[in-house]
C-alpha cells in the first residue's frame, strides 16, 4: 500500500508526538477510553444534579474530535518524516 500524497495539516502535525506516531492504535484506544470515562462521569454527575457534569460531555467530545483524524494521516506523516512504511502481517506474507 502506498503512502498518501496529501499533505498533513499543520494542526495535526503539531498535535502528534513521536510516541503518538509510533503507537497510533494504542494512543487512539486510550483516548477513546478516556472519552468514554468522561461520558460516564458526566452521566453520573448529571444524574445527581450537578450541572457542571455537562462540561464533561464537552471534554469528551473534544477528546473524540482530537482522536478521529490521527489514524487517517498516519501514512502521510510517515512519508513526511521519511520513515519507511510499516509492514503488517498481510504485507509480509505477500
- Residue 11 covered by a domain: no
Cell 506523516 found at: 77
- Residue 65 covered by a domain: yes
69: closest CA among 11, 19, 17? 11
- Residue 79 covered by a domain: yes
Residue numbers of the domain that contains 26: 21-84
Count the Cβ atoms, other than its own, within 10 Å of residue 92.
7
* 64 phi, psi to nearest 5 deg: -65, -40
- Residue 77 covered by a domain: yes
pLDDT of the residue at 52 = 94
- Residue 29 covered by a domain: yes
With a threshold of 0.85, does the pTM exceed it? no
C-alpha gyration radius of the chain = 17
- Residue 12 covered by a domain: no
Q: How distant, in Å, are the alpha carbons of 24, 47, 56 from that of 27?
A: 5, 30, 20
- Residue 6 covered by a domain: no
Q: Which residues of the chain are under the pLDDT cut of 50? A: 1, 3
- Residue 62 covered by a domain: yes
pLDDT of the residue at 59 = 95
As for how many domains the chain has, the answer is 1
Amino acid at each position: 500500500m502506498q503512502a498518501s500524497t496529501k499533505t498533513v495539516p499543520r494542526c495535526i502535525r503539531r498535535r502528534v508526538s513521536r510516541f503518538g506516531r509510533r503507537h497510533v492504535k494504542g494512543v487512539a484506544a486510550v483516548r477513546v477510553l478516556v472519552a468514554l470515562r468522561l461520558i460516564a462521569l458526566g452521566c453520573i454527575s448529571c444524574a445527581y444534579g450537578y450541572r457542571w457534569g455537562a462540561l464533561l460531555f464537552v471534554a469528551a467530545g473534544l477528546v473524540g474530535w482530537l482522536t478521529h483524524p490521527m489514524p487517517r494521516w498516519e501514512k502521510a506523516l510517515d512519508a513526511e518524516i521519511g520513515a519507511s512504511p510499516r509492514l503488517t502481517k498481510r504485507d509480509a506474507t505477500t
